[in-house]
Amino acid sequence: MEKTAKMLNDLLCDLNVLFRKLQNYHWNITGIEFFEIHEKLENYYDCVAKEIDEVAEQILTLGFIPLGKMKDYLEFSQISEASNACVKVNDIIPIIIKDFEILLSNFTRIKEHCDKEKIYITSSLMDEYLSSYSKKLWMIKQLSK
């Protein structure tokens, strides 16, 4: 269970950095697509906030402590912070795609591990995330065409 908790804490770090990044983009998006992208980014970070809570509770369910400090999130996340600057849609789409791909890879790795260890509740949660982010990734890729 310790390895599972570590993997989930790493995911928790990625989700927390992604949450802040999406919110930063939401605040600082500019251009003709402002209204549509501003709203979509808010939708994304609202979903991530829910996932942060679910992952933290999953760690607690396994008998471990979820990480809760920004320092930890930045140290262990594979996702990087966004700059404090105005951004255009064409600049952030490739970054969001990369971040969603990182999460998909993590979900798959955690699911495979949990299936092997017979931790089916966590595996099931990863199934939900895999489905959700696969669709999000497909949809956001349409913006880059």
Inform me whether the pLDDT recorded for 138 exceeds 90: yes
pLDDT of residue 22: 98
Q: In degrees, to the nearest 5, what angle opens at C-alpha 42 toward C-alphas 39 and 47?
A: 130
Q: What mean pLDDT value characterizes the chain?
A: 96
Stated pTM of the model:
0.95
CB of 89 within 8 A of CB of 29? yes
Measured CA to CA in angstroms, residue 143 lies from 77, 91, 124, 132 at distances of 26, 11, 30, 18
pLDDT of residue 143: 83
Of 108, 1, 99, 92, nearest in space to 38 by CA: 92
Query: Given pLDDT bands bounded at 50, 70 and 90, which one contains residue 87?
Result: very high
CB of 69 within 8 A of CB of 12? no
What one-character DSSP code corresponds to residue 144? T
Inform me whether the pLDDT recorded for 117 exceeds 90: yes
